[in-house]
Amino acid sequence: MSSQGCKVRVSTIFVFDNPGVQNAANTVYEQKKAYDLAKNAAVTGNTYKFKSDFERMQYLLGQRNRQAGGSGSYGS
């Protein structure tokens, strides 16, 4: 592949499925992060316990969005 005058731009925003699903995942991620900070999880070891695998997967999607440079809320 030649790179003569061709610039490739790759988006760094991660959105899974649709904006509503990603917003829910971002919310779960932010809530767990806030809970762990409030409980001083690094010192006490008291971390948020997920209620279901679905909620855990939402957290991981929200985390992925943050690592990819996405905003806290899609489209804002």
Question: Which of 6-10, 17-21, 41-45 shows the lowest mean pLDDT across its residues?
Answer: 6-10
Q: What is the mean pLDDT of residues 5-27?
A: 73
Residue 17 has what pLDDT?
A: 79
Helix then strand count (H, E) for the chain reads: 3, 0
Q: The tokens of 21 are what?
A: 């699903």
- Going from N- to C-terminal start, the domains of the chain cover 1-76
Instruction: Output the pTM of the full model.
Output: 0.69
Question: Side chain identity at 69, as an amino acid letter?
Answer: G
